[in-house]
Amino acid sequence: MTIGTSEQLLRDMVRIRRIEETLADLYPSQEMRTPTHFSIGQEAVAVGVCSALRRTDAVYSGHRCHAHYLAKGGDLGGMVAELYGRETGCARGRGGSVHLNDPDAGVVASSAILGQTMAVAVGTALAFVMDGRDDVAVTFFGDGTVEEGIFHETLNFAVMRRAPVLFVCENNGFSTHTRLEVRQPASVPIHVRGGSYGMPSRLVDGNDVFAVQEAAREAVAHCRRGAGPFFLECTTYRWREHVGPLWDYDKGYRSKAEVDSWIARCPIRRAADRLATTPARLAALERECQLEVDAAVAAARTAPFPAVEDLTLGTY
């Protein structure tokens, strides 16, 4: 691994962090009116996995989709304008935060219903095979999705058809406010359940972007050479509230000590330490990214809203 590509991973995480923290700061002004699930603290999974992909690979995500969209190359201006409900949004103000998409960048769809895009990614992978393409489809989902029926239906089908699909479970330990240990049997970890369907499966430290990248490269190579699906469980942690811009360690379902212990394992700080990035260099990266997001916010705030005459446009 060269220093140049390594710093790119750091920079991609810093960029997502600056974007999301800026949007979180602006949220209380009520100009963005769409339920938003921030990925702050979870950036390494998105960045590590997407660094192993090429533009023509397809990415699908769920409700917490900002980081995946940005890491895959989704247009920042389109995302911010979407949150502001503008016609220039990536879904023209019809989709909102949980339905980000940018087909040109290979971000095909995101959806707020658990597990929905797992199956859809497999269908896209199947189409790639039918067309003789060696592209790969990736679906990001959370630990909550593991409890859904479609999780099992989808893994079963993907293995039976050797679909070139990478399943990435971002295990942040919570489904909304409910802890994993009261939802799923601790004796069978998620990556074991994924692997039990007959595909290679790995457990990765989801706050170590280099470990995620290494695992994703192995997984993507496996899918690309026609060897079937691959399952990655990436452990990580959500810093902010389930939905919304605030901190919520005072609400009783988790402690400040727990949140702090994960902040101590911040994926950006860990990558910067590993790369021996100087504070000055990190600050410079942050400034660069801040300029970009500030410009996107300014553009979104002055962009037109969709015309009310176009309310039903796009239904058919």
Residues that bind other proteins (CB under 8 A): 58, 60, 89-92, 94-95, 99, 101, 103, 108-109, 111, 113, 116-128, 130-131, 137, 149-150, 152-154, 156-157, 160, 312-316
Q: How far is it, in rounded angstroms, from Cα 258 to Cα 254?
A: 7
Structure tokens at 304: 């037109």
Structure tokens at 223: 């899918």
* Apex 144 CA angle, 143 and 149, nearest 5: 110
Q: How far is it, in rounded angstroms, from Cα 238 to Cα 244?
A: 12
Q: Report CA Rg, the chain.
A: 19
CB of 124 or CB of 201, closer to other proteins: 124
Which candidate, 186, 172, 236, places its Cα nearest to that of 206?
A: 236
Give least dist CB 107 to other proteins, A. Answer: 10
Q: How far is it, in rounded angstroms, from Cα 65 to Cα 68?
A: 5
CB of 120 or CB of 285, closer to other proteins: 120
Give least dist CB 47 to other proteins, A. Answer: 24
Give least dist CB 109 to other proteins, A. Answer: 6
Give least dist CB 136 to other proteins, A. Answer: 12
Cβ pair 201, 191 in contact under 8 A: yes
* HSE-CB of 119 using CA atoms within 13 angstroms: 14
